[in-house]
Amino acid sequence: MLNLAIQKGKKRWSDQNYYIVKALSTIYLKSNPNPDFTEKDFKMKCEIFDIPNDNTCFISGKPSKGIGDHIYEINGYFKYTKNRGINDKWNLIPVAGEYNKNYKIFKFNMNGINIKKNIGYENLTDNELIFLVSSTNHKYIEMADIYVKLHAWKMYVEQRGAKLFFKETSDMVIIRERFIENYNKIWEQFYVDCKLITN
């Protein structure tokens, strides 16, 4: 049982990695700063996402707690793109927790073909977007609305010269690798300490 608990603890590395990359994002922004996020930018965000403030979920229109969701995920797209999301206001949008895990995952059937895309890092083709917009399926129309808003914001961010993601430097990779090595050592020492008090 102790062994199993420790193995599970080691697997929680991904939680730690999230906060490490957020910190590395701050370091990246010091030498590669995004433009200041101004009141004008905030108003444009509200206009694009059709919300009165940043405490309103842009999908449901209902009040949303928390800091928001990263458009380009901190770690979630790394294995596909080799990039990590930046933790700042350019990359955050208000989304209620119930939508947080799946609103960027699009699954639909177009002309008998099943399509799955993650619009956090993948674009729809023109034909796919036209199909969703012109559909009579409510969920497909909602997908199109979400995509158009996210795409418009990404275009605005690019026009303002800001970035939603960054590529780690070799030094950053070393920092993360060293952290996981030390993290595993802590758990190994914890196992030794627990064995001492149970014997």
> Could you tell me the pLDDT band of residue 94, with boundaries at 50, 70 and 90?
very high
pLDDT in tens, 110-129: 999 999 999 999 999 999 99
C-alpha span between 136 and 134 (Å, rounded): 7
If you ran DSSP here, which 8-state letter would residue 56 be given?
B
Residue identified by tokens 């206001």 is 89
Phi-psi group of 187: left, alpha or beta (phi > 0 → left; psi -120 to 50 → alpha; rest → beta): alpha
pTM for this one? 0.86
Q: CA 55: distance to chain centroid?
A: 18
Residue identified by tokens 């947080």 is 100
Query: Averaged over 173-195, what is the pLDDT?
Result: 82
